[in-house]
Amino acid sequence: MAMVLVMIGIYTLLARENLIKKIMGLVIFSNGIHLLLISIGYRMYGIAPILQDVDFYQFVATAVDPLPQALVLTSIVINLSVTAVALSLVIMVYRRFNTLNAKNIRGLKG
């Protein structure tokens, strides 16, 4: 499922001309990466990584790795900020050029 989201996001980024659709593709792509990272940290019949009154070696063998979860949580916050900035830039581009089509925006070409 994660790879499907990543592929849909890449396709949307490359194939669409509308800037909002490109941002949506970027969000779908990053959500696919988040799902991939969470699935990497998954352990069948794993327990929460909270130290309890169990044997330490048994705890290490059955606890789920919390690092991917922490990284994904941080990445979600960063993704939200990037999306907000990108949408605000799209609003400014629309006010200046009156279009959201990336090919029709001539002033951005260097």
Domain 2-104 class in CATH: mainly alpha
Contact present, 11 and 22 (Cβ < 8 Å)? no
pLDDT in tens, 21-77: 999 999 999 999 999 999 988 888 888 888 777 788 888 888 888 888 899 999 999
Q: Decide if pLDDT at 6 tops 90.
A: yes
The pLDDT score that the predictor gives to residue 42 is 84
Q: Which two tokens stand for residue 105?
A: 């925006």
- CB-side neighbour CA atoms (13 Å) of 11: 7
pLDDT tier at 107, thresholds 50, 70, 90: low
So what's the pLDDT on residue 52? 75
Q: Where are the alpha helices (DSSP H) in 1-110?
A: 2-15, 19-40, 56-62, 67-97
pLDDT at 98 over 70: yes
What burial letters (b/e) apply to 58-81, b meaning 16+ CB within 10 Å? Answer: eeeeebbeeebeeebeeeeeebee
